[in-house]
């Protein structure tokens, strides 16, 4: 069984992370120029990169009833289709491999596991690590990513806990997937942030919750609920195609930046540590 709890150790200083999902990298509609722009920005500032599912599209195999000749890139139109996509992706993402920390699964990858009995995420991550000597971790469809910020000079550690889940259900035109935040809030405890993708929407909400601490004092905590959008632009001016014919609107493109700022907090003669965090859309 794969590990889906990932502990990332850091110095006690600000940390920036690129959060992306639903890249659909092998689809001709993937905006690779925009993706490369954001990855290059992460490269320039040495930001971590996290993938939350549907890195691949992979709908053009002989096994897939959704296949279409219009939706396969020429370089992947081969008898070893899955091999061609994965091997090409390993080469394309290699310049960023040392920054990629976790690659999770989406429904497109689990569909391949079910239909073609091969694990493309495991193969992709193994190839990245073998080629580049890196330590990218395979995630799950859902899991936890914990950023630990340790104070070297005085001891103590602050943690920021991210619950990631690729997503489930649809993103209705009215709710845009926000209702899934409510569902996650009833089943997840202890997260500082809940991160989903899947419905190709982009938003952030803050949930505030109440608890009772060990001294029977009421404690309030904010939880960030975020969705990362997609890099797959399939509206194409509304001219036609499956996305348009089903009445789906244009979708936002890109990812989100996460900034974490560990902080010392003094109350009287006691000092504690915490992490302040916020996200914003990539440009």
- What confidence tier does 266 reach under pLDDT thresholds 50, 70, 90? confident
Calpha distance 232→224 (Å, rounded): 25
Is 171 a residue whose pLDDT tops 80? Answer: no
The predicted pLDDT at position 261 comes to 97
CB-facing half-sphere around the CA of 264: CA atoms within 13 A = 13
Residue 80 DSSP one-character state:
T
Q: pLDDT tens digits for 55-90?
A: 999 988 887 777 777 789 999 999 999 999 999 999
Q: How far is CA 208 from CA 159, 177, 180, 216, 221, in A?
A: 19, 19, 16, 19, 6
Question: What pLDDT was estimated at residue 230?
Answer: 97
Give residue 70's pLDDT: 78
Determine if residue 165 is left, alpha or beta; phi over 0 gives left, psi from -120 to 50 gives alpha, anything else beta: beta
Confirm whether pTM is higher than 0.85. Answer: yes
Share of the chain above pLDDT 70, in %: 94
Is the pLDDT at 1 greater than 60? The verdict is: no
> Chain-wide mean pLDDT for the chain?
91
């Amino acid at each position: 069984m794969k590990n889906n709890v990932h502990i990332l150790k850091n110095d006690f200083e600000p940390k920036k992370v690129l959060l992306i999902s639903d890249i659909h990298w092998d689809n001709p509609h993937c905006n690779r120029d925009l993706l490369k722009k954001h990855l290059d920005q992460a490269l320039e500032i040495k930001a971590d990169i996290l993938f939350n599912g549907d890195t691949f599209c992979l709908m053009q195999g002989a096994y897939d009833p959704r296949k279409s000749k219009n939706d396969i890139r020429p370089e992947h139109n081969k008898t070893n289709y899955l091999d061609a996509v994965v091997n090409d992706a390993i080469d394309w993402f290699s310049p960023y491999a040392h920054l990629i920390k976790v690659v999770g699964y989406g429904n497109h990858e689990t569909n391949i596991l079910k239909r073609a009995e091969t694990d493309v995420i495991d193969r992709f991550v193994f190839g990245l690590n073998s080629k580049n000597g890196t330590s990218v971790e395979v995630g799950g469809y859902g899991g936890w990513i914990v950023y630990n910020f340790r104070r070297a000079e005085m001891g103590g550690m602050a943690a920021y806990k991210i619950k990631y889940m690729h997503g489930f259900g649809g993103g209705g035109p009215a709710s845009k997937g926000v209702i899934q935040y409510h569902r996650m809030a009833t089943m997840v405890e202890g997260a500082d942030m809940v991160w989903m993708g899947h419905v190709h929407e982009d938003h952030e909400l803050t949930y505030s919750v109440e608890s009772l601490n060990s001294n029977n004092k009421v404690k309030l905590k904010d939880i960030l609920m975020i969705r990362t959008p997609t890099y797959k632009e399939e509206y194409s001016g509304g001219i036609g195609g499956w996305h348009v014919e089903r009445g789906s609107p244009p979708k936002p493109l890109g990812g989100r930046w996460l900034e974490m700022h560990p902080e010392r907090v003094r109350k009287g003669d006691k000092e504690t540590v915490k992490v302040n965090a916020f996200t914003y859309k990539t440009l």
